[in-house]
């Protein structure tokens, strides 16, 4: 044995590791994060388990990623270091919890079950073992059950369970510690046999699946040992953001804050374009003017892809930021192709097609509300039109109300000439067009939409510790608009005209995506669907902006998704935590269970009223958009 190996055995651990500091932190209930030569110890809070990987730091194996995805893990270059570090940690944690278990994770050298001449992809090998004892055995069987339930698109696992003493893959040095021990060994199916080619998607799925299975195994072990069972095994996941996550979050937010996508693609000459279109007898397409771009698209893309996502260690957060990066990339691409023929195709990639059931539902709404007028009961005697000044005063009052409940609700109001009639939110700002005129009974409903949902989720998301929850997770806009339209209903200002407008937006998007010109779509809207010319123009300005943007189909789509969500008995609170999509509902619940997210600081004011609570209860029984018009 050479001198270097002898020295490694004699020292408590490799250079840079401070065992006494780690033990003191655990005794005080604090986190531990120590980097040392060849390894790392990370415990984001004291837990009665530790995930171990033994291997060189520069190999970047999947097994190393699986270990590092846990809330409590140890990475070492040689098993001798593990033998010196693990026992004192185990003793400290066993004193605190009454029990402790170690999980050793590594990869098999080769993929034995794969052969080149097979007519189909064979299963892949997974070996599990556990030391003697009811708890460790039960944990191993839970691990096996979770692995066998993997949702594999390519190859399915073939699991073999053994006693640790009979498994040649088990490190004898770890058995000598006389601790409850589980081991995981799996075939390297993420690598192409005989080459250095890696399948990234499969690699990430393996990390996610084995992490989840490990958490289920830990939960089973601890339950067998008499510890309280958590609401979900994911509660044993990470409860702290590491520096790499916060750096990636800041970098992503800086790119997202460098541009306002909707302002960049929204015309600044809406009124002049309408006057010109009307003067031409509605026969010539309007000419739209846009703001000069204050960014260089290529530079922002370079910044975006310079953000490292490789060291986040949390598979859930890694996926969220990966999705967000793809969305920001697509938005920048759209801005770069503003007013070109390719804009509509990139917009289709961002917002999708108009699905046939959605189009059918929209056409049904337009047909069944044909000729409908605002219900007198909704007007409540306030039929007069109000201007931007009235809207601004009411907005300031509502924002003040939220600010009294939470002083972090620091919204700004801007009355502007360069946005179309109406209201819109950009970050923490509420933008009100000077051309805004609306019926008075609609003001509170629209403010519930813009302030009570869009601004509220921005500031609730800001309080979560990561900026991505205020900027918005990828694909968040559909559910945001569904929630915002639903808030109009809770506030008592949802009208047949409003529903017809949402349905007409879907039809307008479908016409645009099908290749209809602005003038052709205008004739359909005013002729077949009986919209007045100015309303049809304002609607189509939104649909044809930038070259054709299918965003406006998301309002009705999001509302339908929300109504189905409520009918299924699901909660609303995760949607108030920040700006998320329906697809992220489970993710938010998991992050909340892990303690990474807070409960929403604010909830919409319209939910505090008796009318709002009654309408929410009605929606939980089952409600269609047309039924929302009933008193």
pLDDT in tens, 548-594: 999 999 999 999 999 999 999 999 999 999 999 999 998 998 898 88
Q: Tell me the mean pLDDT in the region 519-545.
A: 97
- Alpha carbon distance 495, 490 (integer Å): 12
pLDDT at residue 7, as a whole number? 36
Is residue 595 very low, low, confident or very high in pLDDT (cuts 50, 70, 90)? confident
For residue 88, name the pLDDT band (cuts at 50, 70, 90).
Answer: very high
Contact call for residues 212 and 146 (beta carbons, < 8 A) = yes
**What secondary structure does DSSP assign to 535-598, as a single string?**
HHHHHHHHHHGGG--GGGGHHHHHHHHHHHHHHTT--SHHHHSSS--GGGHHHHHHHHHTTSSP
Angle, CA 441 vertex, CA 436 and CA 442 arms, to 5°: 50
User: What pLDDT does residue 606 have?
Assistant: 96
Q: Which residue has the tokens 């070259």?
A: 547
pLDDT band at 10 (very low <50, low <70, confident <90, very high): very low
Biggest alpha carbon distance in the chain?
94
pLDDT value for 149: 87
CB-CB contact of 358 with 557 (8 Å) = yes
Which of 532, 508, 491, 439 has the alpha carbon at shortest distance from 615? 491
Per-residue pLDDT band at 17 (split at 50, 70, 90): confident
Residue 123 banded pLDDT, cuts 50, 70, 90: confident
* Res. 5: pLDDT tops 60: no
Asked whether the predicted pLDDT for residue 199 surpasses 90, the reply is no
| d(C-alpha 428, C-alpha 431), whole Å | 10
Structural tokens at position 307: 């953000």
Check residue 153 and give its pLDDT. Answer: 59
pLDDT of residue 544: 98
Q: What is the mean pLDDT of residues 376-403?
A: 82
Range list of β-strands (E), 417-507:
423-426, 429-433, 437-439
The CA-CA-CA angle for residues 252, 254, 256, to 5°, reads 70
Q: Reply yes or no on whether the pLDDT at 378 is more than 60.
A: no
Phi, psi of 233 (to 5 degrees): -60, -25
pLDDT digits (tens, 9 = 90+) for 451-505: 999 999 999 999 999 999 999 999 999 999 999 999 999 999 999 999 999 999 9
Q: In the predicted model, is pLDDT for residue 14 greater than 80? A: no
pLDDT at 145: 96
Q: Which fold has domain 3-236?
A: Aminopeptidase (3.40.630)
The mean predicted confidence, pLDDT, of the chain is: 91
Model confidence pLDDT, tens digit, residues 234-285:
999 999 898 999 999 999 999 999 999 999 999 999 999 999 999 999 999 9
Handedness of CA 265, 271, 276, 279 (dihedral sign): positive
Give the strands of the sheet with 412-416, arranged side by side: 412-416, 429-433, 423-426
Higher-pLDDT residue of 466 and 17 is: 466
CA 566/CA 22 separation, integer angstroms: 47
User: What pLDDT, on the 0 to 100 scale, is given for residue 118?
Assistant: 47
b/e 209-218 (16+ beta carbons within 10 angstroms → b): bbbbbbbbbb
- Average pLDDT of the segment spanning 190-212: 84
Give rounded-to-5 percent helix, strand, coil for the chain.
Answer: 55, 10, 35
DSSP 526: I
- Cα of 465 vs its chain's centroid, Å: 14
CATH 3.40.630 intervals, the chain: 3-236
Is residue 186 over pLDDT 90?
yes
Q: CA 265, CA 343: separation in Å to the nearest integer?
A: 10
Mean pLDDT of 201-227: 94
> Which two structure tokens, joined as six digits, stand for 256?
């997202």
Taking residues 108-114, report their average pLDDT.
Answer: 75
Entry pTM: 0.86
Location of structure tokens 């030569």? 37
In 270-292, which positions are buried (b, 16+ CB within 10 angstroms) versus exposed (e)? beebbeebeeeebeebbebebee
pLDDT reading at 39 higher than 60: yes
Nearest residue to 61 via CA among 215, 187, 176, 164: 187
């Amino acid at each position: 044995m050479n001198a270097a190996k002898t020295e490694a055995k004699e020292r408590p651990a490799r250079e840079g590791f401070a065992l006494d500091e780690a033990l003191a932190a655990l005794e005080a209930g604090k986190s531990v994060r120590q980097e040392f030569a060849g390894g790392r110890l990370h415990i984001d809070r004291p837990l009665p388990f530790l995930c171990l990987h033994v291997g060189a730091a520069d190999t970047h194996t999947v097994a190393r990623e699986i270990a590092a995805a846990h809330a409590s893990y140890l990475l070492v270059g040689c098993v001798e270091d593990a033998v010196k570090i693990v026992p004192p940690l185990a003793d400290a944690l066993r004193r605190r919890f009454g029990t402790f278990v170690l999980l050793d994770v590594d990869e098999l050298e080769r993929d034995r079950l794969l052969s080149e001449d097979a007519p189909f992809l064979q299963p892949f090998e997974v070996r599990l073992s556990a030391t003697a004892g009811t708890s460790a055995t039960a944990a191993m069987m839970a691990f096996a059950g979770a692995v066998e339930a993997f949702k594999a698109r390519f190859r399915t696992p073939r699991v073999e369970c053994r006693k640790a003493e009979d498994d040649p893959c088990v490190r004898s040095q770890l058995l000598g510690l006389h601790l409850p021990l589980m081991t995981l060994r799996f075939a390297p199916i993420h690598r192409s046999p005989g080459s250095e080619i890696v399948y990234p998607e499969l690699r990430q799925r393996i990390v996610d699946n084995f992490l989840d299975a490990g958490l289920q195994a830990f939960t089973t072990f601890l339950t067998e040992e008499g510890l309280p069972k958590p609401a979900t095994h994911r509660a044993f996941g990470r409860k702290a953001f590491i520096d790499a996550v916060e750096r990636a979050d800041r970098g992503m937010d800086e790119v997202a804050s460098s541009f306002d996508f909707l302002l960049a693609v929204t015309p600044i000459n809406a009124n002049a374009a309408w006057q010109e279109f009307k003067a031409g007898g509605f026969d010539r397409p309007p000419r739209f003017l846009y703001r000069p771009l204050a960014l260089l698209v290529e530079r922002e893309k370079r910044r975006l892809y310079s953000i490292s996502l490789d060291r986040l260690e949390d598979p859930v957060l890694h996926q969220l930021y990966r999705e967000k990066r793809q969305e920001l990339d697509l938005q920048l691409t759209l801005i770069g192709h503003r007013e070109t023929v390719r804009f509509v195709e990139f917009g289709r990639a961002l917002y999708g097609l108009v699905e046939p059931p959605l189009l059918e539902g929209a056409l049904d709404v337009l047909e069944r509300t044909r000729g409908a007028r605002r219900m007198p009961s909704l007007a409540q005697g306030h039929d007069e039109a109000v201007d931007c000044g009235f809207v601004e005063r009411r907005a300031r009052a509502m924002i003040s109300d939220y600010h009294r409940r939470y002083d972090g609700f620091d919204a700004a109001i801007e009355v502007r000439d360069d946005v179309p009639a109406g209201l819109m939110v950009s970050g923490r700002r509420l933008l009100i067009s000077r051309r805004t005129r609306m019926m008075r009974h609609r003001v509170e409903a629209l403010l519930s939409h813009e302030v009570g949902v869009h601004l509220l989720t921005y500031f609730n998301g800001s309080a979560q510790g990561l900026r991505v929850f205020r900027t918005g997770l990828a694909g968040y806009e559909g559910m945001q608009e569904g929630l915002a339209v639903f808030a109009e209903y809770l506030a008592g200002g949802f009208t047949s005209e409003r529903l017809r407008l949402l349905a007409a937006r879907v039809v307008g998007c479908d016409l645009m995506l099908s290749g209809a010109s602005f003038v052709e779509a205008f004739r359909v809207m005013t002729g077949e669907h009986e919209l007045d010319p100015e309303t049809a123009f304002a609607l189509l300005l939104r649909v044809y902006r930038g070259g054709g943007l299918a965003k406006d189909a998301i309002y009705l789509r999001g509302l339908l998704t929300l109504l189905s969500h409520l009918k299924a008995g699901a909660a609303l609170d995760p949607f108030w935590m920040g700006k998320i999509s329906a697809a992220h509902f489970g993710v938010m619940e998991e992050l909340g269970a892990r303690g990474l997210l807070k409960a929403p600081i604010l909830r919409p004011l319209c939910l505090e009223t008796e009318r709002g609570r009654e309408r929410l209860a009605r929606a939980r029984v089952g409600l269609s958009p047309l039924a929302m018009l009933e008193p």
